[in-house]
Structure 1
Amino acid sequence: MKSTISERVSSVDERLRLLEKIPTAIFDDSQTASLAVAQEIAETIRNKAKKGEPCVLGLATGSTPVKVYEELVRLHREEELSFQNVVTFNLDEYFPIEPDSLQSYVRFMHEHLFDHINIPKDQIHIPDGTLDEEKVEQYCQQYEKKIKSAGGIDIQILGIGKTGHIGFNEPGSRKDSKTRLITLDKVTRTDAASSFFGEEYVPRRAITMGVGTILKAKRIFLMAWGEGKAPIIREAVEGEITETVPATYLQEHPNAAVILDEAAAEQLTRFKTPWLLSKCDWDDILIRKAVVWLCRKLDKPVLKLTDEDYNEHGMADLITKKGPAYNINIKIFNELQHTITGWPGGKPKEDDKYRPERAEPFPKRCLIFSPHPDDDVISMGGTLIRLVDHGHDVHVAYQTSGNIAVFDDEAVRFADFVTDYADIFGMKDEKADALLNKINDFLKQKNPGEVDSPEIKTIKGLIRKGEAKAAGRYCGVPDENMHFMNLPFYETGRVKKKPLGQEDIDLTVELLREIKPHQVYVAGDLSDPHGTHRVCLKAVFEALEVCKEDKWIEDCFVWMYRGAWQEWDVNEIEMAVPLSPIELKRKRRAIFKHQSQKDRPLFPGTDTREFWQRSEDRNRETAKIYDDLGLAEYEAIEGFVRYHT
Structure 2
Amino acid sequence: MALPSQAWLRAREQVPVKIFHDSDDVSRAVAAEMAQLIQEKEKAGQPCVLGLATGSTPMHVYGELVRLHKEQGLSFKHVVSFNLDEYFPMQPSALQSYRRFMQEHLFDHVDIQPENVHIPDGTIPLHQVARHCEEYEAAIDALGGIDLQLLGLGRTGHIGFNEKGSSRSSVTRLITLDKVTRVDAASDFFGEEHVPRRAITMGVSTILKAKRVVLMAFGENKTSIVTQTVEGPVTAQVAASFLQEHPAAQLFLDYAAASGLTRVRTPWVLGPITWDTAMVRKAAIWLAQLMEKPLLKLTDNDYNENSLQDLLAEQGPAYNINLRVFYDLQRTITGWPGGKPASGEASPAPKLAASGIPQAQHDASSNGVTPPAASSPNQAGTWRIPAHSSTANPSASPSPIARSTSLEHQLTGHVGGAGYSVYGPLADSANRSVFPKRVLIMSPHPDDDVISMGGTFARLVDQGHDVHVAYQTSGNIAVWDEDAIRFADFAAQFGAAMGLDSSRSSGIAAKIETFLKNKQPGQVDSEEVQKIKTLIRYCEARAAGRTCGAKVDNLHFLDMPFYETGAVVKKPLCEEDIQILVDLFDRLKPHQIFAAGDLSDPHGTHRTCLQAIFKALEVVRHRSWWAGCEVWLYRGAWQEWEPWEIEMAVPLSPAELQRKISAIFKHQSQKDKALFPGADPREFWQRAQARNQATAATYDKLGLPEYEAMEAFAAALSGFRQTDIQVSKRLGDRTRCREKQLYFHSRHAVEALGS
User: TM-score of the superposition, structure 1-length normalised?
Assistant: 0.97
Q: How far 1:633 moved relative to its partner? A: 0.6
Q: How far 1:357 moved relative to its partner? A: 4.2
CA distance in 2, matches of 1:49, 1:506: 42
CA distance in 1, matches of 2:49, 2:522: 33
Equivalent position of 1:75 in the other structure: 68
Consecutive unaligned residues of structure 2, counting only runs of 5 or more, are 344-372, 374-385, 390-399, 403-431, 719-755
CA distance in 1, matches of 2:91, 2:259: 39
Is 2:133 the counterpart of 1:140? Answer: yes
Equivalent position of 2:634 in the other structure: 561
Q: How far 1:441 moved relative to its partner? A: 2.1
CA distance in 2, matches of 1:637, 1:428: 50
The AA in structure 2 aligned to 1:63 is S
- Counterpart contact for 1:97–1:130, Cα < 8 Å: yes
- Once the two structures are superposed, residues 110-142 of structure 1 have per-residue CA deviations (whole angstroms, 9 ceiling, x without a partner) of 000000010000000000001110110110011
- Counterpart contact for 2:49–2:81, Cα < 8 Å: yes
Q: How far 1:360 moved relative to its partner? A: 2.7
The AA in structure 2 aligned to 1:413 is R
CA distance in 2, matches of 1:420, 1:513: 42
- Residue 488 of structure 1 aligns to a residue in which SS? coil
- Counterpart contact for 2:595–2:634, Cα < 8 Å: yes
CA distance in 2, matches of 1:600, 1:288: 39
Equivalent position of 1:629 in the other structure: 702
- Counterpart contact for 2:483–2:669, Cα < 8 Å: yes
Worse overlay, 315-324 or 361-370: 315-324
Equivalent position of 2:38 in the other structure: 45
Equivalent position of 1:237 in the other structure: 230
- Residue 295 of structure 1 aligns to a residue in which SS? helix
CA distance in 2, matches of 1:410, 1:609: 20
Query: Within 5 A, what are the aligned runs for 1:212-223?
Result: 212-223=205-216
- Residue 103 of structure 2 aligns to a residue in which SS? helix
Paired residue for 1:381, among 412, 435, 454?
454
Equivalent position of 1:612 in the other structure: 685
Query: Within 5 A, what are the aligned runs for 1:575-594?
Result: 575-594=648-667
- Residue 231 of structure 1 aligns to a residue in which SS? helix
- Once the two structures are superposed, residues 168-225 of structure 1 have per-residue CA deviations (whole angstroms, 9 ceiling, x without a partner) of 0000100000000000000000000001110000000000000010010000001001
- Residue 637 of structure 1 aligns to a residue in which SS? strand
CA distance in 1, matches of 2:636, 2:108: 39
Q: How far 1:445 moved relative to its partner? A: 2.1
Worse overlay, 554-563 or 264-273: 554-563
Equivalent position of 2:522 in the other structure: 449
Query: Within 5 A, what are the aligned runs for 1:321-336?
Result: 321-336=314-329
Q: How far 1:550 moved relative to its partner? A: 1.3
Paired residue for 1:503, among 576, 592, 600?
576
- Residue 459 of structure 1 aligns to a residue in which SS? helix
- Counterpart contact for 2:401–2:715, Cα < 8 Å: no
CA distance in 2, matches of 1:547, 1:48: 46
Aligned residues: 638
- Once the two structures are superposed, residues 355-386 of structure 1 have per-residue CA deviations (whole angstroms, 9 ceiling, x without a partner) of 52455311111100000000000000000011
CA distance in 2, matches of 1:278, 1:466: 56
CA distance in 1, matches of 2:60, 2:277: 35
Identical-pair percentage: 60
- Counterpart contact for 1:275–1:315, Cα < 8 Å: yes
Q: How far 1:444 moved relative to its partner? A: 2.3
- Residue 16 of structure 1 aligns to a residue in which SS? helix
The AA in structure 2 aligned to 1:633 is E
- Counterpart contact for 1:563–1:618, Cα < 8 Å: no
Query: Within 5 A, what are the aligned runs for 1:295-444?
Result: 295-349=288-342, 353-354=387-388, 356-357=400-401, 360-444=433-517
CA distance in 2, matches of 1:424, 1:553: 51
Equivalent position of 2:560 in the other structure: 487
CA distance in 1, matches of 2:112, 2:487: 49
Equivalent position of 1:156 in the other structure: 149
Worse overlay, 93-102 or 439-448: 439-448
Q: How far 1:349 moved relative to its partner? A: 3.1
Worse overlay, 310-319 or 373-382: 310-319
CA distance in 2, matches of 1:510, 1:71: 30
- Once the two structures are superposed, residues 379-408 of structure 1 have per-residue CA deviations (whole angstroms, 9 ceiling, x without a partner) of 000000111111111101111100000011
Greater RCO (CA < 8 Å, at least 6 residues apart)? 2
Q: How far 1:644 moved relative to its partner? A: 2.1
- Residue 19 of structure 2 aligns to a residue in which SS? strand
The AA in structure 2 aligned to 1:192 is A
Is 2:163 the counterpart of 1:170? Answer: yes
- Residue 715 of structure 2 aligns to a residue in which SS? strand
Paired residue for 1:26, among 9, 13, 19?
19
- Counterpart contact for 2:582–2:617, Cα < 8 Å: yes
Q: How far 1:552 moved relative to its partner? A: 1.4
- Residue 562 of structure 2 aligns to a residue in which SS? helix
Paired residue for 1:285, among 278, 284, 295?
278
Is 2:273 the counterpart of 1:267? Answer: no
Shift >4 Å, 4+ stretches = none
CA distance in 1, matches of 2:280, 2:308: 10
- Residue 119 of structure 1 aligns to a residue in which SS? coil
Equivalent position of 1:118 in the other structure: 111
CA distance in 2, matches of 1:334, 1:309: 20
CA distance in 2, matches of 1:264, 1:137: 36
Worse overlay, 610-619 or 416-425: 416-425
Paired residue for 1:639, among 712, 716, 731?
712
Worse overlay, 215-224 or 538-547: 538-547
- Counterpart contact for 2:342–2:435, Cα < 8 Å: no
The AA in structure 1 aligned to 2:608 is V
CA distance in 2, matches of 1:250, 1:124: 25
- Counterpart contact for 1:345–1:357, Cα < 8 Å: no
CA distance in 1, matches of 2:172, 2:281: 49
The AA in structure 2 aligned to 1:440 is E
- Residue 512 of structure 1 aligns to a residue in which SS? helix
Is 2:594 the counterpart of 1:601? Answer: no
Q: Which has the higher helix share?
A: 1
- Once the two structures are superposed, residues 48-105 of structure 1 have per-residue CA deviations (whole angstroms, 9 ceiling, x without a partner) of 1111111100000000001111111111111111111110000000000110100000
- Counterpart contact for 1:419–1:428, Cα < 8 Å: no
- Counterpart contact for 1:33–1:260, Cα < 8 Å: yes
Consecutive unaligned residues of structure 1, counting only runs of 5 or more, are none
Equivalent position of 2:594 in the other structure: 521
CA distance in 2, matches of 1:634, 1:429: 53
CA distance in 1, matches of 2:135, 2:401: 65
- Once the two structures are superposed, residues 135-159 of structure 1 have per-residue CA deviations (whole angstroms, 9 ceiling, x without a partner) of 1011001100011012100000000
- Once the two structures are superposed, residues 241-263 of structure 1 have per-residue CA deviations (whole angstroms, 9 ceiling, x without a partner) of 11111100010001100000111
- Counterpart contact for 1:26–1:259, Cα < 8 Å: yes
The AA in structure 1 aligned to 2:649 is A
CA distance in 1, matches of 2:501, 2:308: 77
User: TM-score of the superposition, structure 2-length normalised?
Assistant: 0.83
- Counterpart contact for 1:506–1:543, Cα < 8 Å: yes
The AA in structure 2 aligned to 1:73 is V
The AA in structure 2 aligned to 1:323 is G
Q: Cα RMSD over matched residues? A: 1.2
- Counterpart contact for 2:436–2:464, Cα < 8 Å: yes
Equivalent position of 1:14 in the other structure: 7
